[in-house]
Structure 1
Amino acid sequence: MNSSSVASSIDSNSLVQKTVYPILFSIAFAHLLNDLLQAVIPAAYPILKENFNLSFTQIGLITLAYQLAASILQPLVGLYTDKKPKPFSQIFGMLFTMSGIVLLSYAATFSMIIVAVVLVGIGSSIFHPEASRISFLASGGKRGLAQSIFQLGGNAGTAIGPLLVALIVVPNTQYYIIWFVIVALIALMVLSRIAFWYQSHLSLKASKKAVIDLPNLSQTKIIASVVILMILIFSKFFYMASMSSYFTFYLMDKFHLSVQDAQFHLVLFLASCAVGTLIGGPLGDKFGRKYVIWFSVLGAAPFTLLLPYVDLFWTGILSVIIGTIISSAFPAILVFSQELLPKKLGMVSGLFYGFAFGMGGLGSALLGNLADHTSIDYVYHLCAYLPLIGIIAFFLPNLKKKKAIN
């Protein structure tokens, strides 16, 4: 092999192996835009409830329809793209999301609202598995940090969405949701740039043998660990459903806040989730993902148990603490699951994102129905116990790796 071939090989290896921060921040920004558009749906609930005289059960059904569309397809999309990566698939996903936003702005019936949120859900199901894979590939081994940067984008978008809805839509009408098409157009431009990098990266990886770290665990232990992680996802996202879908109604009912004031409190909670997401991944890299997962789910319990009994000021403080602690779990859970099954990144990412969305949707529907039959206040008393399930993280293994070559 001549010197130029050696240099070319070294350059290719470094391109594949180094942490590519421009791509990490680009995919995080795309995640911000994608999740901002998703956040328009729950943020618009007070407006839709008033316009269409909806019950809490119907609001829960809207969330369930969206989350099912977002959850059922994700593992299938991930499984397919594990075998046949599709660098430009996220662009098609964003087109689905944009169509849903347009339809939601013009929706005149409950059934049209359902169709609109299903379109947004399909867009989300296409976006997340491949986006998570891109984050993993661009990490250069700093997987927790990369996942935190990626998740930070999503959480920031989830926090900004309700704020923009409160500023743009609430003072006007439902039709002003159409302005969020601008966000979708920006996302399409960002995703196009990422797609070309992804395509080049796949070509580089195909030219060299990949070395994959496999966990030194039996198949039974891997399956048991995945089940534990999914139970923790259930705990986290059922509680998060009570906050993202009903926190504004809780504040309006208990403290008689206006829609806008309640939305600003929701934004503070979601912003704290972004902070927790940012710190969760690097802490997992440094101290071990098992311990971060254990602390972030179980550690929120004292504060969730206090929340239903405090005044407005302490409700705001506790909601920020809860958001920061409980949101640090997901980057660690996702990277832990990817390290359990490193040959199936898309399927694992799709499975956990899909299950998370599914639990969020199911939780929203069940809690909405419960609120109709009891009260919003009772929902928060009941959900306060969910983080206690985090104690089962004790049974997760400490991952040790062995090398395997594809």
Structure 2
Amino acid sequence: MNKILSIQHKVLEKVNKQTLSQQTVYPILLAISFGHLCNDLLQAVVPATYPLLKENYQLSFAQIGLITFFYQMSSSLLQPLVGNYTDKKPQPYSQIYGMLCTTLGVVLLAFAPSYLWVLVAVTCIGIGSSIFHPESSRVSYVASGGKRSLAQSIFQIGGNTGTALAPLLVAWLVLPQGQQHLLWFVVVAIIAQFVYYFIGTWYKGILRQAATAKEKKKIRIPMLSTFRVNSAIVVLLLLIFSKYFYVASISSYFQFYTMDKFGITEVQAQVYLFYFLISVALGTLIGGFLGDKVGRKYIIWFSVLGAAPFTLLLPHVGLAWTGILIVIIGFIISSAFPSILVYAQELLPKKIGMVSGLFYGFAFGMGGLGSAILGWWADHTSIEYIYSVCAYLPLLGIIACFLPNMKKVSFSEE
């Protein structure tokens, strides 16, 4: 333990020097990305176990949707509140507290005696996520050195990679052995706590430097009216709705769709879900990089609207083309999120935590609401029918044309 802490302090000395010279602090970005991987891996265990939970508790699609609704909404509603609080009172070690709550949820899910306890367990996991995201996104922003889309994409790819790994790990560790083997994922939580301590110690040092600095930091304020700022935020939230409502149809029900339509096994269905999720991770990284290079507005436009031809084609192809199209859809539709979040942060640069909490919370909320509605709908129609309807959601991306240009800025003291 002492050796680990000694290594952490040596690395912290180096990255603090980087911070003082206003460079991009890659060790912290990689650490927060890995922390995001651990957090979202444990979150993604929930939908990855849906086939098992459906069988163990004899659940309908509506009840499956309600599970997603509980864990997504518990995260969604709290994140803006957590972000607003940490804007005023930063909490360097908040990730540690969030992971403790998530760990409790995983343990409860492993031993849940009834469907009600499943809902309690996933709610704990959602609360843990709500504590993690706002402050972690702010750390990414602080460590970016001005490369904000890239920093956000590095942060986000960790979460997307964790989400992609969950179905494979569940298929390997849990599905063959049983629900109690979810306890293996507690190991991930323990490893994450060391990383969160490293990040928290660095961030605490940055806050101390800011408190003792003689000169206040100047921040860029877009020269837009309050109406233009608020209307742009609404447009971005509508784009999040389009993206995450569609993603909910994949993350919650794609296993059932492929099993029902093509007659494949649970493990095979998890692999096809993995194809989607790993393409989401790659799309996030490349989208963030291009957002800094070619402009965030163009990446947002391409990402949400560009997926439409492929989502419209998906319900009408065979298994091989389903695997190909789901990779293309995941890659394109995911490339927007870093740009959307950074665009919103630049609209309201004095409220980074609140904005991050609002957008992560809204994304999770739309995912939860979408899953609940789609589950009820699938019970009353068919699982194939909901994919035919959801295919039109990316067309909402046309509203990106209403986003303002933000080339003119003024400066204000933080």
Give the TM-score normalised by structure 1: 0.96
Q: Does 1:351 align with 2:358?
A: yes
Contact 2:45 2:167 in 1 (8 A): yes
Q: After superposition, where does 1:389-400 map in structure 2 within 5 Å?
A: 389-400=396-407
The structure 1 segments of at least 4 consecutive aligned residues displaced by more than 6 Å after TM superposition are none
Contact 2:82 2:354 in 1 (8 A): yes
Deviation at 1:207, TM superposition (A): 2.7
Q: Does 1:287 align with 2:291?
A: no
Deviation at 1:62, TM superposition (A): 0.3
2:111 aligned residue: 106
Q: Does 1:45 align with 2:50?
A: yes
Q: Equivalents in 1 of 2:396, 2:19: separation in Å?
A: 43
Question: What SS does the corresponding residue of 1:18 show, helix, strand or coil?
Answer: coil
1:162 aligned residue: 167
Deviation at 1:17, TM superposition (A): 2.0
Q: Equivalents in 1 of 2:249, 2:18: separation in Å?
A: 46
Q: Does 1:217 align with 2:224?
A: yes
Q: Does 1:387 align with 2:394?
A: yes
| Deviation readout 1:78-127 (Å, 9 max, x if unpaired) | 00000000101110000000000000000010000000000000000000
Q: Which blocks of at least 5 consecutive residues in structure 2 are unaligned? A: 1-15
The letter of the residue matching 1:40 is: V
Q: After superposition, where does 1:2-81 map in structure 2 within 5 Å?
A: 14-15=19-20, 17-81=22-86
1:3 aligned residue: none
Aligned-pair identity in percent equals 65
Contact 1:16 1:204 in 2 (8 A): no
| Deviation readout 1:54-99 (Å, 9 max, x if unpaired) | 0000000000000110100000000000000010111000000000
Q: Equivalents in 2 of 1:320, 1:13: separation in Å?
A: 37
- Aligned positions, number: 396
The letter of the residue matching 1:405 is: E
Deviation at 1:403, TM superposition (A): 1.6
Q: Does 1:405 align with 2:413?
A: yes
Q: Equivalents in 2 of 1:220, 1:251: separation in Å?
A: 45
Q: Equivalents in 2 of 1:88, 1:128: separation in Å?
A: 12
The letter of the residue matching 2:375 is: G
The letter of the residue matching 1:147 is: Q
Q: Equivalents in 1 of 2:176, 2:201: separation in Å?
A: 40
- For residue 228 of structure 1, the aligned residue among 220, 228, 235 is 235
| Deviation readout 1:276-329 (Å, 9 max, x if unpaired) | 000111111111101100100000000000000000000000000000000001
Contact 2:19 2:143 in 1 (8 A): no
Q: Root-mean-square deviation (CA), in Å?
A: 1.0
Contact 1:211 1:405 in 2 (8 A): yes
Q: Equivalents in 1 of 2:275, 2:348: separation in Å?
A: 35
Question: What SS does the corresponding residue of 1:389 show, helix, strand or coil?
Answer: helix
Question: What SS does the corresponding residue of 1:214 show, helix, strand or coil?
Answer: strand
The letter of the residue matching 1:294 is: W
Q: Equivalents in 2 of 1:189, 1:136: separation in Å?
A: 21
Contact 1:101 1:181 in 2 (8 A): yes
Deviation at 1:404, TM superposition (A): 1.6
2:140 aligned residue: 135
CA gap 1:376/1:144 in 2 versus in 1, 3 angstroms: same
1:251 aligned residue: 258
2:9 aligned residue: none
Deviation at 1:206, TM superposition (A): 2.1
Deviation at 1:12, TM superposition (A): 6.9
Q: Equivalents in 2 of 1:16, 1:69: separation in Å?
A: 39
Question: What SS does the corresponding residue of 2:177 show, helix, strand or coil?
Answer: coil
Give the TM-score normalised by structure 2: 0.95
Contact 2:60 2:379 in 1 (8 A): yes
2:185 aligned residue: 180
| Deviation readout 1:329-370 (Å, 9 max, x if unpaired) | 111100000000000000000000000000000000000000
Contact 1:75 1:354 in 2 (8 A): yes
Q: Equivalents in 2 of 1:15, 1:326: separation in Å?
A: 36
